[in-house]
A and B are shown apart, each in its own frame.
Chain A
Amino acid sequence: MTSLHDSVTISVNGRTHEVRAYHDAPLLYLLRNDLDFKGSRFGCGTGNCGACTVMVDGHAVQSCTTPLWSVAGKEIWTIEGLAADPVGALVREAFLEEQAAQCGYCINGIIVSVTALLKCTALPGQSEISEALNRHLCRCGTHVRILRAVQRAIRLVEGSART
């Protein structure tokens, strides 16, 4: 007989949710299955590929290796919520304008990482961009466009800050 389940309150995309799960359950499954935020994707389960990346208190983290207990009381944002965020929306727009996707499976995680980066540093240097992107893998070879999209996102965010 199944017995578990602490009740944990988490904040996702600006709303609080009560979820029942093991305190060490990976955040990814709760986001996808309990809260229906399917834009965070399963790739490896070991934090190597970045497809599951979400933003927690402003930092990009891999939700597949983030235990539930560690995010209690913190602000979690997924791609769905970031679409309504001023920076997140511009980053997503930049990726669409550059058509920076092939299968697209890895892209949401990358958009979340780039959003977290630009929310923290409006004009990131090459090493900061590199550090953010090197936590992600893309198998279709869309890297060239993704790099272009990041540059476009920086310009869009910079432009919106001026206006």
Chain B
Amino acid sequence: MNTPLPSSILASPRLGQWFKIGPEPDRRIIVYSGKVELGQGISSALCQIACEELGLDPDQLTLVAGHTAYSPDERYTAGSQSIEVGGAAIRCAAACAHGLFAEAAANALGVAVDSLRVARGIFSSALTTRVTDYWALAGEVDLSQAIAADAPQRNQSDYRCVGRSLPRADLPAKLSGAAYVHDFALPGMLHARILRGGHRACHLEKHDTDALKALEGVSAVVCSGQFLAIVGPDEEALVRALAKAQKMVTWTLPEAICAQREIPESLPAMPCESSRVHLKGEAATPLVAHRARYSRPYLAHAAIGPSCAVADPGDGHLTIWSHTQGPHPLRDQIAAALGREKTAVDVVHMAGSGCYGHNGADDAAFDAAFIAQTLGVPVRVQWMREDEMSAAPFGSASLVEIDGGVDRSGRICAWHIQIWSHTHIKRPGWGGDINLLGAWAVDPPIVEPEDKDAPLPAGGGLRNSIALYDLPHQQVTHHFIGHSPLRVSALRSLGAYANIFAIESFLDELAAKTGADPVAFRLRHLADPRGRAVIEAVARLSDWPPTMPAGRGAGMGIGFGRYKNRSAYCAVVARVRVEEEVHVDKVWAVVDAGCIINPDGLMNQIEGGIIQSLSWTLKEAVTWSGSGVTSLTWDDYPILTFDEVPEVEVRLLDRTSEPSLGSGEAAAGPTAAAVGNAVAQALGIRARHLPLTAERLTRLIHESP
């Protein structure tokens, strides 16, 4: 049987694009990847995979990731694909390298290749006392050859490195001094701050370049079309000038953006294209019918550190240091936007503050590149808190309606889900488009491309819109809203967050209407053994069923999903108290992510996903007015605080013999659903519109009959 090559290997087929022997004195092996470290621990996990196949220890390996001059193009580090796709590529390349070097070692030692063993890069055999190693054999293997698909990979039962909770190699430096792109500096580098209106559509009405340049701390002003930046040698003085500069510039919103209204009213009133995107079976007439609408607001990425980039115009060769998710697409888009050849631009990935999708990193990179090219000197652009909260793309709002019902046997017999939402993906280079805020602003501007969403099966707004349950009838209708009042793009889990919240809430509502236990009701409709296993396990872990009476201020709820219907399974139970506000006391989660590369790393991702989802679910919503975004600071856009964090207990199912499944985004939807269902039990009233703030719940209680 021919094993197919991983997609990343098809794109970068030569062994030398993935693997290199480091020089003898250091005795290191260099492995290249296009998947970058975003704080999710991927660099350590990829090293573990490479070490496993190569017979090395992690301290012998250097990973070069996301450097367009050296690393393979693996597009974006996104979609929980880094282990599934990036890991598969590294495993394939490393196994191929190991096979070739083992052959060379067998020749050098005069023994059969199957008598060899390799540890710390040293090949030995019981048939000889001599040994050799990767470094001694460096000249014996042609790295320009194509990677073979059929190189034997290490047997999973022999894993020594994969499956261990090795500590992350990047953390000691980050928990010290300089480690992020924010800390990177070049000789002669100038600082820059961008002046922007409070909204993507703001028009630069009035400014006086000379007056801006006369400000103390400002050595240059870069103005092109709608793009306006002040530049100076001293960051503190420049920030001081920025406060004055902002008062000297007038912005207007040419077309009034719709003033903010509640999502359930505003989204369906916007012009949309409607289409049926999925149909299975036929609806039967239900005994118990139900219809409900759910919504989520626009959400901000809101990383703790605002976006930053450094650009060096070099000697005609532009280099940009960025915390982008996609160094190669960003390189291509910046080159295109600046009218340069790709070969005259490089993007080098460096660590940034938390990345949960398409944030301001790419825009800041363009800002730095444009200013550096204009002035001919190295430039560091640091966005301010307000920029991060208003100029970076937001996660799209969604409205989800489900119309369904249950037959006499207690089984769901009709199911129609409708989703009103914008695009959830508008990354630079996605669909070949130039999606860079600064590039849309400079003169001449790049015309902002039309919004278009990703279709199923992965989907953007449609992600996880098809319920994983075995339903005899399922219909999905997409109402795609091409124009958003706010700039939107990919935020962790895309549409899956709202869709799983809606599906899992609706299941509980149907269960309640038919007097069924929520866990039993789910299991009745789910044949997938791995799905059943996580639900059953989280029920055991949380001592399901809950014993508290409904409507008395305390409750437990469950949520389940398989991310993208093809990645990791995750079931979550939440226990809440509702006093004035929702207090989440405990969260249990069980995850099946197939073969786990680094259990502690996976645990960290799941814990983080749960807490971030709690923050979205309980607290967060972007606000705006006719003059632009108004949630600009931590006071206007509160996130979960330490006081509000529940106890979290996560169990990982051991599936070493199964392929690894992407898991970084798996917890978002199930957590929201678990909390929503727990709140419904606590209140005896269903809250369907996020976030579940005290104000919203109070209104709901007052409005309920």
Contact = CB atoms under 8 A, between A and B. Distances in A.
Contact of A29 (B236, B306, B615, B640): B236
B304 A137 contact: yes
Nearest to B354: A103
Nearest to B633: A46
Interface string B158-169: 000000000110
Nearest to B218: A2
B604 A139 contact: no
A161 B68 CA distance: 50
B380 to A, nearest CB: 10
Interface string A92-130: 100110010111111110010000000000000000001
Contacts of B172: 96
A149 B316 CA distance: 48
Interface string A128-163: 001001101111111111110000000000000000
Given A29-B235, A45-B384, A140 B305 contact: no
B575 to A, nearest CB: 15
A38 interface: yes
A54 B175 CA distance: 14
B62 interface: no
Nearest to B183: A38
B176 A139 contact: no
B642 A104 contact: no
A100 to B, nearest CB: 9
A46 B633 CA distance: 9
Given A96-B167, A103-B38, A42 B174 contact: no
B239 to A, nearest CB: 7
B353 A105 contact: yes
A139 B302 contact: yes
A142 B604 contact: yes
Contacts of A41: 180, 182, 304-305, 353
Contact of B178 (A25, A39, A49): A39
Contacts of B302: 139
A69 interface: no
Contacts of B354: 102-103, 105, 139-140
B80 interface: no
A72 to B, nearest CB: 17
B236 A48 contact: no
Contacts of B237: 2, 4
A42 B182 contact: yes
A42 B380 CA distance: 14
B315 interface: no
B645 A143 contact: yes
A80 interface: yes
Given A105-B304, A108-B175, A137 B634 contact: yes
Contacts of A136: 642
A102 B608 contact: yes
Nearest to B613: A141
Contact of B385 (A46, A138, A141): A46
A139 B615 CA distance: 9
B178 A2 contact: no
Interface in B194-251: 216-217, 234-237, 239-240
A102 B355 CA distance: 10
A109 B515 CA distance: 50
A51 B600 contact: no
Given A41-B180, A44-B633, A130-B642, A105 B303 contact: yes
Contact of A43 (B234, B304, B604): B304
Contacts of B171: 96, 99, 101, 104
Contacts of B647: 144
A99 B603 CA distance: 11
A144 B237 CA distance: 39
A138 B168 contact: no
Interface string B252-292: 00000000000000000000000000000000000000000
A29 B238 CA distance: 11
A70 to B, nearest CB: 15
Contact of B612 (A4, A79, A139): A139
Contacts of A83: 176
A31 to B, nearest CB: 11
A79 B176 contact: yes
A64 to B, nearest CB: 10
Contacts of A21: 236
A21 to B, nearest CB: 7
A37 B610 CA distance: 33
Given A42-B382, A43-B385, A111-B175, A143 B353 contact: no
Contacts of A71: none
A141 B671 CA distance: 13
Contacts of A130: 642-643
B305 A104 contact: no
Nearest to A132: B642
A89 to B, nearest CB: 11
17 contacts: A43-B305, A45-B385, A46-B634, A48-B634, A102-B608, A103-B304, A104-B39, A104-B351, A105-B305, A107-B175, A130-B642, A130-B643, A133-B642, A136-B642, A139-B356, A139-B612, A142-B607
Interface of A: 2-4, 21-22, 25-26, 29-30, 32-33, 36-39, 41-46, 48-49, 51, 79-80, 83, 92, 95-96, 99, 101-108, 111, 130, 133-134, 136-147
Please provide the 4 A-B residue pairs with the shortest distance between their CB atoms, ordered closest to farther: A141-B611, A103-B39, A141-B608, A104-B174
Interface of B: 38-41, 167-168, 170-172, 174-180, 182-183, 216-217, 234-237, 239-240, 302-306, 351-356, 382, 384-385, 600-601, 604-605, 607-612, 614-615, 633-635, 639-643, 645, 647-648
Given A37-B177, A45-B239, A139-B353, 5 more contacts: A96-B172, A96-B175, A134-B641, A137-B639, A141-B608
